[in-house]
Structure 1
Amino acid sequence: MSVANQRTDLIGVIRKARENLPGDPAFGDPLSVSGPGGPQAVARAADKLVGDTPSAAKEIGLGALQVWQAMLERVGRGKGSEPITVMFTDLVSFSRWSLTAGDEATLEFLRRVATAIEPPIVDRGGRVIKRMGDGVMAVFLSPDAAVRAAIAAKRQLTALDVPGYRPQMRIGLHTGSPREIGGDWLGVDVTIAARVMEAGGNGNTMISQTTLDALRPDTLADLGHTARPYRRGLFAAPLSGVPEDLKIFRLDGA
């Protein structure tokens, strides 16, 4: 039995069979099991017991966990099944300023930016997923909370006084069903959110049609903002990774 368990041809057959099972056929690698959840926790524990050595039994076990995770997603207890609003932020002309400001001033400024914009995100139910130099990626369960956080974060940012630089931030919001893997969020909806932000030019807050449709009818009015259609410049390149039929809107005053 132990010899058969180590046969590479048998292991290959089982791995091939996993491609036809529900869920992620690569379940078991460090990326897929590092996040929260029952199947991930069991996979991590099993890996400590059996180690990295490939075996037929290990592949069968991972296949079962793969199906378990897929079943959880179908009933809403996993990841990727509920609407998530993704936020991307980016400081305008930051790189140009930082080249002359120097490393020490740049680091101090980024700390001040984090102190200014991250509390409004967290206070409104958002979760900062990662920091990317002068920007952040965050996720929200509520699109209304995401819009409120975006407006509040930009208001906080404008209060920062920086010699030789006027902080401005563009923000992009898009609502979809990305998948959480290893503490990060992946999928086409994440890409779309980043591209929506890129349409923000010199400090605009942009939201996709999907996010706008998901807002409560009175949210923007309560905030004193309106959504105006974004029109790409005549000679501007199309936003890659964004469906052609997806409309983008600019929040006036945001």
Structure 2
Amino acid sequence: MSVALENRLEVLRSYPRSRPETIERFARFLETSSEEALFRMSPLHFAEEQGVPENEAIDLFLRATHAGILEFTWGVLCPGCASFLTTPSALRSLQRTRDCHMCRVSIETGDDNMEVAFSVAPSVRRIRFHQPELLDLRKDLLSLMFSQSRTLPEDIRRLVGDSVLDSATLPPGGVHRFSAKMEPGQTYFLAAPLHHLWCELVPTPESRTSHVDAELLDGRLLPGEVQVREGEVSVSLHNRNSAPVRVALLKFWVPRAEMSCSAETVSTPPLRRYFSGKRLVTHQTFRELFRAESIPSEGGLEFKSLTVLFTDLKGSTELYERIGDFRAYGLVREHFGVLRDIIAERGGSMVKTIGDAVMASFAEPTPALEAATAMTREVRRVSREGVKLQLKVGLHSGPCIAVELNERLDYFGQTVNLAARVQGVASADEIAITEPVYGAPGAQDIIRAAALSATRERALLKGVEGETTVYRLR
């Protein structure tokens, strides 16, 4: 084991909740895995393969990133081909739309197509992917282009590798001349795969074009499509960027007649479960360690579905009057610690405290509901001088917007408002939830396991038009 890795592992071991056996599995994984396995890794895949709970694996990967063992990358997944469209400067530069030039589709960035992947840091173990301009694209084209959550049979992997007719590294200002015999019915691409830049070359009987001049300029490959003659064709590519770029000429592995992608017709290829951007930003460890990962300033980041949880202490005003400010505040702080641990253990994050209340976010409804049942149970154990705390909890799931407020991640929208209002109708030791939470897969199992009974009612909530279906769980 390298000294650099051992020193950084000591940082992970110093975390109070770390399990030595998990750290040792992680160390062996980093030392013995192939270079491909250490590029754009998923903590969910690590958890599955190593027999580690998912939330523990996520926490491990984030802490390892903070310790300099791993690096993470944000990508938008193309629904047609599962290309991993990388986002420079990570979250703060995430764009509302991305274009897959290979599939010729524009992709709306959403919580269902943002993947966060991790690679080993070069200071710990150097792998060839740290120098993409030197990669053998016949061997590494798939790894460079696509999400590692997409699994392909070996014959397809060979076919993709064989599609590379020629490749070169272009230094700044460099030019490379490609040539190939272009067959009718086939599609050819001039490509800079790491940057997801493609120029489609279409052989047609009508075209007399036998030479194409192309250039890499300001993050674009120009032109984007050219009709060329059938037969021998040459292409000169000029790199006008300030950094070297690995480029290739490809004979695409799918015949042109089968390339009918459009925004309306593409369907996501089979993928293993991947670590989504939504799950990352709703994780407590991310909030604590990566505050500098700011949300895009223009319009924030939209989530199609997020679960928001609010809590409040029953009778907190009377509590301060009864035992005094100092003692009451001690109890409140202790209850905050209990809630924070419960939220973190279930993969959520504590967004903020508001007086004696807590706002938390979760990627899915069921972990939030599990947290709510544990909160009402565990907070009763926080007692002092004969005082027992009672909690009111409200949950709602729906779309919302993540924004940066006072250098912290926060959420806005009607989903947040509804969750707060639903908490307001809950009684002491009661959880109030809306229909999207009650009807979520697995919610009924959680309610039964907690021995709770559900009472359905229609409630008028302040600031919400019409009546809202609310389930009271006691």
TM-score by length of 1: 0.66
2 CA distance for matches of 1:164 and 1:221?
Answer: 31
2:344 to 122, 125, 147: 122
Instruction: Report the residue type matching 1:219 in the other structure.
Output: I
- Cα 1:243/1:223, change in 2 over 3 Å: farther
Instruction: Report the residue type matching 2:446 in the other structure.
Output: T
Deviations 1:214-234 (A, max 9, x none): 2325332333333221355xx
**1:74 counterpart residue number:** 108
**SS of residue matched to 2:303:** coil
Does 1:109 pair with 2:331? Answer: yes
**2:310 counterpart residue number:** 88
- Cα 1:142/1:222, change in 2 over 3 Å: same
**2:434 counterpart residue number:** 208
Does 1:184 pair with 2:410? Answer: yes
- Cα 1:98/1:141, change in 2 over 3 Å: same
The gaps in structure 2 that reach 5 residues or longer are 1-89, 99-106, 115-276, 278-300
C-alpha deviation, 1:245, in angstroms: 4.2
Larger Rg: 1 or 2? 2
**SS of residue matched to 2:462:** coil
Which has a greater percent of strand?
A: 2
**1:173 counterpart residue number:** 395
2:456 to 206, 219, 229: 229
**2:466 counterpart residue number:** 244
Superposition misfits of 4+ residues, deviation over 6 angstroms:
none
2 CA distance for matches of 1:122 and 1:211?
Answer: 19
State whether residues 74 and 81 of structure 1, in contact with CA within 8 Å, keep that contact through their aligned partners in structure 2.
Answer: no
The gaps in structure 1 that reach 5 residues or longer are 1-35, 40-67, 233-237
**SS of residue matched to 1:139:** strand
TM-score by length of 2: 0.37
2 CA distance for matches of 1:123 and 1:148?
Answer: 10
**1:197 counterpart residue number:** 423
Which has a greater percent of helix?
A: 1
1 CA distance for matches of 2:445 and 2:329?
Answer: 39
1 CA distance for matches of 2:435 and 2:449?
Answer: 19
1 CA distance for matches of 2:328 and 2:455?
Answer: 34
2 CA distance for matches of 1:219 and 1:97?
Answer: 31
Deviations 1:188-225 (A, max 9, x none): 11000000000102331100012112232533233333
What RMSD, in angstroms, separates the aligned Cα atoms of the two structures? 2.2
State whether residues 117 and 154 of structure 1, in contact with CA within 8 Å, keep that contact through their aligned partners in structure 2.
Answer: no
Instruction: Report the residue type matching 1:230 in the other structure.
Output: E
Higher relative contact order (CA 8 A, sep 6+): 1
Deviations 1:107-165 (A, max 9, x none): 21122111222211110011000011211000011211111101111111111222253
2 CA distance for matches of 1:71 and 1:95?
Answer: 48
- Cα 1:69/1:95, change in 2 over 3 Å: farther
1 CA distance for matches of 2:464 and 2:367?
Answer: 23
State whether residues 314 and 391 of structure 2, in contact with CA within 8 Å, keep that contact through their aligned partners in structure 1.
Answer: yes
**SS of residue matched to 1:105:** helix
Q: Name the count of aligned residue pairs.
A: 184
State whether residues 158 and 168 of structure 1, in contact with CA within 8 Å, keep that contact through their aligned partners in structure 2.
Answer: yes
Does 1:37 pair with 2:91? Answer: yes
C-alpha deviation, 1:187, in angstroms: 0.5
Does 1:219 pair with 2:437? Answer: no
2 CA distance for matches of 1:215 and 1:227?
Answer: 16
**SS of residue matched to 2:452:** coil
Deviations 1:7-44 (A, max 9, x none): xxxxxxxxxxxxxxxxxxxxxxxxxxxxx8233xxxxx
2 CA distance for matches of 1:105 and 1:149?
Answer: 26
Instruction: Report the residue type matching 1:114 in the other structure.
Output: F
